[in-house]
Every structure is written in C-alpha cells, then in structure tokens.
Amino acid sequence: MYPKPELNTKTIYSYLHNGHMMWDQSWFNEIKRCDPSSLYIYEASTKRLCSKMYWGWDQVPPKRIASRKAMEEYAHLFVQSTIDLELADMSSIGIGLSGGLDSRWIAQILSKEKACTAHCFSFDHNWELSLSRRVASELHIPHTFHELSASNWLENRLESLWHSDACLHLGHLHEGNLHRDLLQHSDVFYHGFYGGGIYAGMNELNKRIDRETAARYFKVEHGKFKLDDPFFNAKTIDPYIVHHRMRYQAAYSIFLLSSYTKIAIPFYDLDWIMFNYSIDDKDQAYGRFYLNVLNRELSNDLLNIPWQRTGLHPKFIGANCLFQKFKLNSAFEKIYNLMGKSRHVINYSIFDEQIEFWLKEFASDIKNLDQNFNLKKREHKLRMLSLVVWNRMLQKDSPHVL
C-alpha cells in the first residue's frame, strides 16, 4: 500500500500566488519537471542522469525593423504553418472562433482552402458570440454555437480539473463539460493558442529578463527567480514569461482538447515564432506590428468587425495600441462586471455565489493547508478552491469528491 501523496509546499505557494507552478516544480517533492529543450541520457553503468540542451532562445535571429518585407515574410510563414498541416485526410475541419483576431486570421486562411465549420462556446446573447457569428457569416462558413450552463458550475468541471492535474485551475476551465460536444464532429480542430504579438511593455523592450521585470509578472518565495538559465538568453522577456504561463498553465487547455480529436495550433510553429521574436520589440509593443500585418492580410469586411479585446475595429491601429497601453480594455471590463455583464466569452460574476458556497464547503480543507492567503479577489478564490479540490482528489484517487 503506497502512502497518500503530499503536496509540495513550495508548489502550493507558486500556485496560489501565480495561478501555476514555477521552474521545475511538480505537485510532489519527489518529482521534478524536465528542463526545457533538453535531451536526457541515463548511463546504466554509472547510474548517472545527464542532460544536454539542444535548443535555446539565443537561436532567434538578430533584431530587425518592421519593414514591408518583414510583414510579408511574417504573414507568409503563418499562412504556410496553417495550411501545411496535414489536411488531406481530414474531411471535417473545425475552428475555435472567438471574437479575437488570432482565430479570425486562421478562419480566413482555412475558409479559402477547404470546407470548415466555426465553433463558439459561450452563454447566449453574448457579445463575443455575436462577433464570432459575424466573422463566420462574412467568410461564408457554417457556425455552431455551444451554450454554456450557469448551473452545476463546479460539478461540470471536476473531470477537466482531474485530467489537467489541476494545472489549469477552475477559472480557466471555461468550456466546462462541453469538450465532447465541441469536438466530436471534427477530424481536426484549429485553435488560436499562443497568438501574435509580445508581452513586453515600454519599459521592457529588447532586454533579457531580469529580477525587476520578473517580479512584475510573478511572485516567488524569498525573491529567487532563477534567471541564469541559458535557455532564456535572448533580448526579450517573453521566453521566461511564456515558459511559465504556457508550459505550466495554458498548454493544458490544448491537452484537454486533444483527448477528443487532433488539435492544430498554427501559432506554435517554430519558424514563425523565431521570426516573430526577431522583430524589434519597439515595433511589436502593444500589438502594433501584428495589427499592421492583419490590416494587410484580413479582408475589409473582417477589419470592420470589432476586436473583442478592445471593442474597436482592428483597422484603427493607433487607438487599439493606446487601449492596450493604458489597459482601458481592462477598465471597461471591470465596469461591465459591476453591472453583472462581460464582453468575454464567459462572465464569471454569475458564478460568485457558487464559488462562495464551495469555499465554505471546503473550509476545513483550506484551514488544513495553513496558507496565509488573501481570498478577496475572485481569481484568488478560484486558485484556492482548485487547490483544495485537487488535494482531495489525490487523497481519494478520483475526481468524484463532492
């Protein structure tokens, strides 16, 4: 009989304060994650495990300006990444189409190549749903709406939390139990995972990650960020941020979807990614370069459909950049939330009562964690609830813990 697993206290800290793990952490003290882009060799005679890094961010080409030629190459690489994926035997192609620009670009490319169907999950009468429908209508492709349910919020997400090892916490399990309904009729499903643009703000352009910058994005115990890894040797902060937010969190959304069908993620093409990060950060800031490319690539009809993030038409490049620079989109979303509304695919304010109910139900579990963690923000409540539900799942070796 194996002993019940105990959670790593350092991982608990990272999870609560960031929403995900950091560095080589796993849930357990005895297990560490492999280093990125590394080849491991076990020498049986000496019982030694050696590792060798086979790729690093220093292989990104030197910075170049955002010329017309650069825009053409950037777009060409992405179009090729989208259509070069093996579609010959795929009779049914699905696209996850939101109100964002990443999925809009993918949908336009695919609509010219092969019959495809757009899919959008949300509540009915949702603004993002209306944008998705408008894009599909302009591209003359079928659109399927998958309606979310406001009831049984936690119950409908237990299986997904279990299968993602809770690395994707409850606040990111937007689809609930709709995965099968969303994907069962698609031989391949295209997803806008990763997307265009960069993370860096005006004070972080063309620089390697440092302690001050890392502290703006992450919180770690004793201020130790582990910044000396040669994997991150590049004049951009994105590799460090992407490594943690994508590898330890967002990638699990793709993992969940892949249980039901093949998932295509064109933005995750290495040639395109390397080219993206070779563009000078000054031209990339707040999506300026990406918006310029889209204004060359998207049809006028699609450019006249608002972007969900800002509420503005993508053709207004300067205004969209200002909205993101001053985080006006976030301010407007908070105002919408105060009215019980949201411009996003899912409005979590309608789940607040259910979240509070389950926090009370798991109050003893929370107390046993012995974490001095403020639960005023909804995001923090979702992290804590995910953690205690996951811990109970581990103890029972089952997702059925309610």
Contact 148, 176 (CB under 8 A): yes
Radius of gyration of the chain (CA): 22
**pLDDT tens track of the chain, all 402 residues?**
566 667 899 999 999 999 999 999 999 998 999 999 999 999 999 999 999 999 999 999 999 999 999 999 999 999 999 998 866 677 899 999 999 999 999 999 999 988 999 999 999 989 999 999 999 999 999 999 999 999 999 999 999 999 999 999 999 999 999 999 999 999 999 999 999 999 998 999 999 999 999 999 999 988 889 999 999 999 999 999 999 999 999 999 999 999 999 999 999 999 999 999 999 999 999 999 999 999 999 999 999 999 999 999 999 999 999 999 999 988 888 888 788 778 888 889 899 999 999 999 999 999 999 999 999 999 999 999 999 999 999 999 999 999
For residue 329, give Cα distances in angstroms to 243, 326, 334, 342.
25, 8, 9, 11
Query: What integer pLDDT is reported at residue 106 of this predicted model?
Result: 98
Query: What integer pLDDT is reported at residue 150 of this predicted model?
Result: 92
Q: What is the pLDDT of residues 306-335, one digit of tens each?
A: 999 999 999 999 999 999 999 998 888 888
Query: What integer pLDDT is reported at residue 320 of this predicted model?
Result: 97
Q: What is the pLDDT of residues 172-189, one digit of tens each?
A: 999 999 999 999 999 999
Strands (E), 234-335: 262-264
- Domains located in the chain, CATH noted: 9-396 (3.40.50.620)
Query: What integer pLDDT is reported at residue 88 of this predicted model?
Result: 65
Contacts of 197 (CB under 8 A, 6+ apart): 284, 287, 289, 290
What pTM value is reported for the model?
A: 0.95
Of 250, 274, 281, nearest to 56 by C-alpha is: 274
Residue 372 to residue 369: CA distance in whole angstroms: 9
Joined together, the tokens standing for residue 64 give: 């170049």
Of 348, 343, 318, 347, nearest to 329 by C-alpha is: 343
**φ/ψ of residue 86, rounded to 5:** -70, 100
